[in-house]
Structures are given as C-alpha cells and as structure tokens.
C-alpha cells in the first residue's frame, strides 16, 4: 500500500523542528532532528519506542495543488509504502505541523481537502480508526 498525504501552507509559517518535536512528544512520536525546509527523503522516527519513518518533502506547490493556493504557497508531502505504523507516524507528524502552521490537509487518494480549521479533527479521527485496527 502506498499512501501520500499533503499539507498546503505558507512557507513563512513553517514551524521550527524544536516546536514540532515538543508538539508530537505527547503522541509518543520522536522524529529525527532535521532542517524542515531542506529535508528531502526518508525521515526516521520512533513511535511508541519502535523504529519507523516515512518519506518527507517540502517545496513550492506543484501543479496538482495550485487550485488550493489560497491556503499557501508551499506544500509538505509525506509518503509511506509499508505498514500502519508508518501511516500513524506520518499522520501524527502532519497533524502537529498543521496545528503549528495553520495548514490545510489534502488526501490525493480520496481527492479530499480539509481546511485549516478542520485538519486537527480530520487527522485525529483517521488516526483513531487506524489505531483501532492496528493495536
């Protein structure tokens, strides 16, 4: 299974990695310290004491997301190929980034957009459903 997820945000609102680490600590996620604007590729994390990770990319809006530029000029894309632990980790990371930056969330598999005010609820609900079937 391959799952891509995206945030649409203003580059100027991208939070520091320290702020992200503080936010995700409550959710048992410990990401490797990276420079978020420059990170490209695999991002190792620990979730609930287990090693995992996901692909992470930051850059300007691609053509697919230009229709959502009212929410920002940049995008963060995460991609997982493996298991639910990777999916939970990437969603938890995106939820923190969205809360800190005021980003919108886009699910390209379902072609669904959650505006900034809804992202926390949408991702919290999805995470709860995945955790029910995973643990």
Question: Does domain 3-134 fall into CATH 3.30.310?
Answer: yes
pLDDT confidence of 126, banded at 50, 70, 90? very high
pTM of whole model > 0.85?
A: yes
Cα 25 to Cα 79: distance, rounded to the nearest angstrom? 21
Cα 94 to Cα 104: distance, rounded to the nearest angstrom? 10
CA atoms within 13 A on the CB side of 113: 14
Could you tell me the residue ranges of all domains in the chain?
A: 3-134
pLDDT confidence of 133, banded at 50, 70, 90? confident
Q: CB 108: neighbour CB atoms within 10 A?
A: 13
């Amino acid at each position: 299974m391959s799952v891509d997820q995206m945030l649409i945000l203003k580059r100027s609102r991208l939070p520091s990695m320290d702020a992200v680490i503080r936010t995700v600590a409550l959710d048992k996620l410990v990401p490797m310290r990276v420079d978020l604007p420059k990170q490209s590729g695999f991002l190792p994390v620990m979730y609930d004491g287990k090693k995992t990770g996901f692909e992470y990319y930051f850059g300007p809006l691609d053509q697919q997301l230009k229709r959502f530029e009212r929410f920002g000029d940049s995008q963060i894309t995460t991609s997982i190929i493996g298991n639910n632990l990777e999916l939970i980790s990437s969603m938890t990371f995106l939820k923190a980034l969205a809360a800190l930056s005021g980003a919108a969330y886009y699910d390209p598999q379902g072609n669904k957009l959650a505006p900034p005010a809804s992202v926390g609820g949408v991702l919290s609900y999805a995470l709860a459903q995945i955790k029910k079937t995973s643990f």
